[in-house]
C-alpha cells in the first residue's frame, strides 16, 4: 500500500484510489452520489482532503454489510459540518442498521425456504407458487400461470373492466377506471 507523506494535505484521485483500494470509477461514483467531495484545481483536476480516506473506508465497510448507498449518504449528512465519521459514529450507526440487517436476513431465510418448495414443484403456477403469488393474491382474480394481466389486442374488442377486476397498479393505462 503506497504511503502518503504526512505533509501532503490533498490527494489526487489516483492517490486516493491507491490508498483506499477503491477504483477511480468508484470514487467518481461516490462523489456523484454526495458521499465524498473534492475541489478542482485550476487545471480541473480533483483534489481530496486526507479525511476522504476515512469517508471512503466508512462507505466501503457499510456497503460490505449490505447498507444501501442512499442510507449511507443520509448517515453521513447527519454528521455536523459533514465531518469525517469516527469510531463512535460507526458504533451508533451500525447499531441503528442492525435491525434493518436482521430483517433482511429473516426475509432471505424465508425466500430460501420457499425456493426449495418452488424447485420441488417446478410449476411456477400463480395458483400455487409462494414466490410468484404469495398468499394466492392472484388466485382471487384469475387462474393459470399468467404473470402479467392480458392486454386487449387491436383485433378483438376490449373487455369492459371495473376496479373490482384488478387493482389500479396492475392495469395497463386506460384499461381500468
φ, ψ of residue 50 in degrees (nearest 5): -60, -30
* DSSP structural state of residue 67: -
pLDDT per residue rounded down to tens, the chain (177 residues): 556 566 678 999 999 999 999 999 999 999 999 999 999 999 999 999 988 999 999 999 999 988 999 999 988 888 877 678 888 888 888 888 898 889 989 988 888 877 766 555 555 555 556 666 566 565 566 655 555 555 555 554 444 444 444 444 444 444 444
CA distance 109 to 126: 22
CA–CA distance, 21 with 107 (Å, rounded to integer)? 32
In angstroms, the CA 14 to CA 91 distance is 30
**pLDDT for res 45:** 93
Beta carbons within 10 angstroms of residue 129's beta carbon: 19
Instruction: Classify residue 48 as exposed, middle or buried by CB count within 10 Å of its CB (0-12, 13-18, 19+).
Output: buried
Please give the C-alpha separations between residue 99 and each of 40, 78, 110, in angstroms, as whole numbers.
40, 19, 17
Q: What is the pTM of this model?
A: 0.59
Q: In the prediction, which pLDDT does 4 show?
A: 58
Instruction: Label residue 90 exposed, middle or buried (CB < 10 Å: 0-12, 13-18, 19+).
Output: middle
Angle of CA points 61, 64, 65, to nearest 5°: 95
pLDDT of residue 176: 43
Dist. CA 174–CA 160, nearest whole Å: 11
Cβ atoms within 10 Å, residue 146: 10
In 3D space, the residue among 25, 17, 77 whose CA is nearest the CA of residue 85 turns out to be 77
The pLDDT score that the predictor gives to residue 40 is 93
Amino acid at each position: 500500500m503506497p504511503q502518503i507523506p504526512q505533509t501532503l494535505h490533498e490527494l489526487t484521485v489516483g492517490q486516493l484510489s491507491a490508498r483506499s483500494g477503491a477504483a477511480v470509477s468508484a470514487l467518481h461514483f461516490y462523489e456523484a452520489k454526495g458521499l465524498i467531495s473534492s475541489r478542482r484545481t485550476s487545471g480541473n483536476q480533483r483534489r481530496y482532503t486526507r479525511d476522504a480516506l476515512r469517508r471512503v473506508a466508512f462507505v466501503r465497510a457499510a456497503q460490505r454489510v449490505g447498507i444501501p448507498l442512499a442510507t449511507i449518504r443520509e448517515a453521513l449528512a447527519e454528521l455536523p459540518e459533514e465531518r469525517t465519521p469516527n469510531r463512535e459514529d460507526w458504533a451508533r450507526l451500525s447499531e441503528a442498521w442492525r435491525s434493518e440487517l436482521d430483517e433482511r436476513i429473516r426475509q432471505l431465510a424465508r425466500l430460501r425456504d420457499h425456493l426449495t418448495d418452488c424447485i420441488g414443484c417446478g410449476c411456477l403456477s400463480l395458483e400455487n407458487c409462494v414466490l410468484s403469488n404469495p398468499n394466492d393474491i392472484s388466485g382471487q382474480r384469475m387462474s393459470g400461470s399468467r404473470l402479467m394481466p392480458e392486454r386487449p389486442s387491436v383485433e378483438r374488442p376490449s373487455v369492459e373492466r371495473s376496479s373490482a377486476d384488478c387493482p389500479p397498479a396492475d392495469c395497463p393505462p386506460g384499461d381500468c377506471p
